[in-house]
Amino acid sequence: MTYSKILGTGSYTPERTLTNTELEQLVDTSDEWIQSRTGIVSRQIVVDENTSDLAYQAAERAIKDAGVDKGDIDLFIVATVTPDMPFPGVSQILQRRLGLNTITAFDLNAACSGFVYALNVADKMIRSGAYRLALIVGAETLTKITDYTDRNTCVLFGDAAGAMVLGQSDTPMIKDVVTYANGDIEGHLTMQGYPIKENFKTPEQPRPFLYMNGAEVFKFATTALPKTILTLLERNGMVLDDLSLIVAHQANRRIIDKAARTLKYPMEKMYMNIERYGNTSAASVPLAIDEAIKEGALKKGDTFITVAFGAGLTWGGALITL
Ligand code: UT7
């Protein structure tokens, strides 16, 4: 039986820092409100880079960290809701730019849960024996679809990319991955794309922006997060004490805080970097895992859970031993 394991990780954030003080100039908000309601102090945002540029840097770093030969990579997945363009996908653009062989390469859209979905797909494709070495990336330029006149959303998002190389393993190091979706027909977290139009007419369309009903998403997130963690533990006969760390999607410090209280799990063992990056959607989980490893918060042999939730509505998690 073949399983999968993490061989290397990498991440990249753009250089420009957007502070809460700067946002005070754009909308009716305050540093105090943003920090106390979200935990965010600043975010990194793109100036002239697109999603593929961020993904490229993160991918190169993960490949270097894994020490693998690019020519051996046979699967490439990019999780994103902010691709450079609808097609070709970021993965297909980067297949050539990264110098990968003509392999299976596709984008995956599951919003902020996108990276956990990509992990699930790559893990199962490796377990099947059909693929041996996967590069998976979560990359977003959320600031492209952020309305900087809407204080409900514009203070939340930043741009980033995170990547992981997965290889074959005799033992299950990626122990379990679960992913779920429940159609958001109420439209709590959406972005208009291609509305139905009258035949043969070319309507003037306003530029689409992200819309979020924050309170509804908050309720969903604070339920989904602890439930997914408990599901993963139960399915694998484990308990919270078996975990070294929980790496949750960085959407709001209060969501992570509430999940920790629900689980009666120490907040120090909930990884946190939201203060520096804000919510970076599909990049959030791989960026946090990469930083946790590089900072020594996660070490070889440690078992941890990563968990995410977002538009779709989608959610999911993974139980991993490094
Ligand atoms: O990654 C995708 C998943 N997304 C999320 O997980 C986001 C989930 N939701 C949240 O994190 C929170 O709901 C928010 C941070 C978006 C909002 O925090 P909240 O504590 O739920 O605030 P609220 O929406 O209930 O609004 C409370 C008040 C409102 O004013 P009134 O109506 O009470 O007068 C808002 O207009 O706060 C106001 N408000 C702000 N005030 C200052 C909303 N945004 C701001 C702001 N600055 N930026």
Mean pLDDT within 51-70: 98
Q: Which of 20, 50, 112, 188 is catalytic?
A: 112
Mean pLDDT within 234-263: 98
DSSP SS3 for 78? strand
Q: What's the mean pLDDT when you consider all of the chain?
A: 96
Ligand 1 pocket, mutate which of 26, 38, 152, 279 (most atoms under 8 A from CB): 152
Mean pLDDT within 221-226: 98
Whole-number pLDDT of residue 156 = 98
pLDDT of 228 above 80? yes
Confidence of residue 207 (pLDDT cuts 50, 70, 90): confident
- 175: which residues sit within 8 A by CB, 6+ positions away? 236, 303, 318, 319, 320, 321
Q: Which of 20, 188, 249, 252 is catalytic?
A: 249
Known catalytic membership, residue 188: no
Question: Model confidence over 95-147: pLDDT tens digits?
Answer: 999 999 999 999 999 999 999 999 999 999 999 999 999 999 999 999 999 99
Whole-number pLDDT of residue 202 = 76
Mean pLDDT within 12-35: 98
Whole-number pLDDT of residue 304 = 98
Question: Model confidence over 71-82: pLDDT tens digits?
Answer: 999 999 999 999
DSSP string, 83-107: -SSSSS-HHHHHHHHTT--S-EEEE
DSSP SS3 for 7? strand
Distance between Cα 38 and ligand 1 center (Å): 9
pLDDT of 206 above 90? no
State the DSSP code for 206. Answer: P
- Residue 3 is inside which H or E element, if any? strand 3-12
CA 108, distance to chain mean position in Å, is 11
**Alpha-carbon dihedral of residues 87, 115, 119, 54, nearest 10 degrees?**
60
The residue whose CA has the least distance to atom 44 of ligand 1 is 152
pLDDT of 7 above 80? yes
Whole-number pLDDT of residue 89 = 98
pLDDT of 221 above 80? yes
Question: Model confidence over 285-316: pLDDT tens digits?
Answer: 999 999 999 999 999 999 999 999 999 999 99
Q: Are 312 and 220 in contact (CB under 8 A)?
A: no
In angstroms, the CA 94 to CA 88 distance is 10
In angstroms, the CA 43 to CA 59 distance is 21
Whole-number pLDDT of residue 78 = 98
pLDDT of 178 above 90? yes
Q: Are 316 and 179 in contact (CB under 8 A)?
A: yes
Mean pLDDT within 223-241: 98
Structural domains present in the chain: 3-170 (3.40.47.10), 176-321 (3.40.47.10)
- Residue 185's CB: how many other CB atoms inside 10 A? 7
Ligand 1 pocket, mutate which of 115, 218, 256 (most atoms under 8 A from CB): 218
Ligand 1 pocket, mutate which of 30, 37, 157, 254 (most atoms under 8 A from CB): 37
Nearest to 277 by CA among 22, 33, 39: 39
Residue 36 token pair = 């106390």
Nearest to 15 by CA among 166, 159, 179, 218: 159
Residue 299 token pair = 């070490």
Least confident of 134-138, 200-204, 231-235: 200-204
Question: Model confidence over 241-250: pLDDT tens digits?
Answer: 999 999 999 9
- Residue 42 is inside which H or E element, if any? strand 42-45
Whole-number pLDDT of residue 70 = 98
Q: Which of 20, 120, 252, 279 is catalytic?
A: 279
Pairing of strands 303-310, 245-248: parallel
pLDDT of 199 above 90? no
The residue whose CA has the least distance to atom 14 of ligand 1 is 214
- Residue 171's CB: how many other CB atoms inside 10 A? 9
Whole-number pLDDT of residue 224 = 97
Nearest to 241 by CA among 267, 266, 272: 266
Whole-number pLDDT of residue 197 = 76
Residue 86 token pair = 């609808």
Instruction: Kindly list the protein residues whose Cβ atom lies closer than 6 A to any atom of ligand 1.
Output: 29, 33-34, 37-38, 112, 151-152, 155, 214-215, 217-218, 221, 251-252, 255, 279, 310
Distance between Cα 215 and ligand 1 center (Å): 7
In angstroms, the CA 87 to CA 83 distance is 8
Q: Which residue has the tokens 């394991």?
A: 5
Known catalytic membership, residue 112: yes
